Copies of this chain bind each other. A is one copy, B any other.
């Protein structure tokens, strides 16, 4: 399991052998079954999570019982609830596995330590943060501007691989539309 991670990291950041070894040494591997929960809303997020394979979703359930999905996290990406992680506050969101997944976890104190010891890791983290900001902004723009059709088209184009791996209701929960409208859109597109 660590091999995939090391491959990923040396592909994306310019780390020394030593750094790579240290980062790996502090990683805690975990296997999550389908629908297994990694972070429960209300708990504090204590780990950084790297997904080796599988697919996670970050979501929140409102009082009316509806699920809203903030993010999908496939293999070779990271996830966590930053706000809870940074401030040690209860998380608003849950993180659970859509598919059975293998992940690596780092405890916050360990990871903070790594960031101090390896400036190159810090630089890499900052890149990830930047991308996060760009994509959040783009998502907000898409949510503002589009009709449901456009949002769906945008989703298919932006995340081509996800369509086949997700139940439609989750895509609807991600786009902020009802399952009904989503199936209507797809029917219309089939007839074309």
> Which residues of A are interface residues toward B (Cβ below 8 A)?
60, 62, 66, 68-70, 82-83, 86, 92, 129-130, 132-134, 136-137, 139-141, 143-145, 173, 176
Contacts and interface: CB of A to CB of B under 8 A. Distances in A.
Contact of A145 (B60, B83, B86, B132): B60
A176 B133 contact: no
B145 A70 contact: no
B133 A70 contact: no
A69 B68 CA distance: 22
A143 B140 contact: yes
A63 to B, nearest CB: 9
A145 B68 contact: yes
Given A143-B176, A176-B143, A134 B83 contact: yes
Given A139-B140, A176-B143, A134 B70 contact: no
